[in-house]
Amino acid sequence: MIGLTCVWLGVGLVAGCATVEGPSGGPEDKTPPTVVALYPDSAAVSLADTRTLIFTFSEKMDPVPAESFLYLYPAIPVQKTKWHGRREVEVELTEPLPADTVVVVEIKAGISDAHRVKSRVSRRYPLATADSLPQGRVVGQLLYKEKPLLNGVVELYDVPPDTLEYFRQPILRRAQTDSLGIYHLPWLSVPGGPWLIRAFADANGDLRPGDNEAKRLLPGQYALTDTNPRIQVELITLFDPNTPGRLVGRLDSLVTWPGRVLVWPLSISDPDTGWTAAPTDRVVPGTQPVDRDSLTSITEVQPGLNRLIFFVDADGDSMLSILPAAEGSEQNQWFLEPFAVVDSLTVEPGLDAVFPPPRFPVKLQPWQGATADNDTIGSDIQNR
């Protein structure tokens, strides 16, 4: 063990497969490999000038580079990976562990032993260059499809400046949920934060949020204080990426046009060609009534960017129609029913978002495509 003392610890291991040892003639190996010793020991403190980590495995391993299974928070690049007899790996970092810092060592699940058997779980443990470990902790629980989320992943980020997306920053901590959907983010500084938390389902175990995996930025910012060194995060549910959400809001009390108000949500594609006001020849799918006097919910809104098309259904046909001018006005003049557009509303899968009050016009918009022969379309709008 090259003169270093290691402490026994059961820890699951990581990925890769390059050189595979042939069968020995005995029973097939089905036992996942584990880490049985490590240096420095888990929770070791006062580790000034430390730049070498050593892991000993329970059996012969596929000798892959440390970058394929080892992560450090904060990140420190690996300079060299040296295997000793295929059961012990010595990892030299490009620089010593930073001063007065807790470094969380993460050994990723999926690394293969010599018989292609992969480890099943990831493990994390702390090392401190200060003389003690901080006691701050964030705890929470995730649900998915109304059940506790097993092997969900939770990531901790600094709150970024306005010019940067949060996930473009380094991950400060990472944790996985247990069979009850519970996660722990320990060894956090007190006071500490504010932080943002992202959670996602990790069906393939790669510790990355896939395009088709449920994911969510948890609501709010989280900070630890001397009087509150432990945060219990509210129960959070994750939804599949295609789960519709809702838009919630109120009509402006100044909407004076008589008649019921209807709305339909319209997904904004990329690139967006906008929406042009025109009468519809059928009821648009998703059209639904809007309450004039109280909070209303617009349901079945697709995740992503959306716009809302509101209109006053003056003729009662549930379509955005054209209406003839009032009696005594200019001949052959037709108008669109009163309408309003609310644009660029972001809806997260399965969640509620708020829409501002739509601003209906004071005057109706003329429709140039109609003639006097359109008397079967729309209805009279006298006394408006």
Question: In the prediction, which pLDDT does 26 show?
Answer: 59
Could you tell me whether strands 352-354 and 245-249 are parallel, antiparallel, or unpaired per DSSP bridges? parallel
Note down pLDDT in tens along the chain; length 384 residues. Answer: 444 434 444 333 333 334 445 555 556 778 999 999 999 999 999 999 999 999 999 999 999 999 999 999 999 999 999 999 899 999 999 999 999 999 999 999 999 999 999 998 888 999 999 999 999 999 999 999 999 999 899 999 999 998 899 999 999 999 999 999 999 999 999 999 999 999 999 988 899 999 999 999 999 999 999 999 999 999 999 999 999 999 999 997 767 888 899 999 999 988 888 899 999 999 999 999 999 888 999 999 999 999 999 999 999 999 999 988 764 455 668 899 999 999 999 999 999 999 999 999 888 888 876 544 444 344 434 333
Architecture of the CATH domain 1-131: Sandwich (2.60)
- At residue 188, the 3 state secondary structure works out as strand
The model's pTM is: 0.79
In the chain, where the domains are located: 1-131, 134-240, 245-374
Q: For the chain, how big is the Rg over CA atoms in Å?
A: 30
196 neighbors 175 (Cβ within 8 angstroms): no
Residue with tokens 């006691």: 135
Give every CB contact of residue 245 below 8 A, 6+ residues apart in sequence. Answer: 301, 303, 347, 348, 349, 350, 351, 352, 353
CA–CA gap between residue 53 and residue 81 (Å, rounded): 10
Question: In the prediction, which pLDDT does 258 show?
Answer: 87
Question: In the prediction, which pLDDT does 169 show?
Answer: 94
Nearest to 297 by CA among 344, 252, 250, 333: 250
Question: In the prediction, which pLDDT does 128 show?
Answer: 97
Architecture of the CATH domain 134-240: Sandwich (2.60)
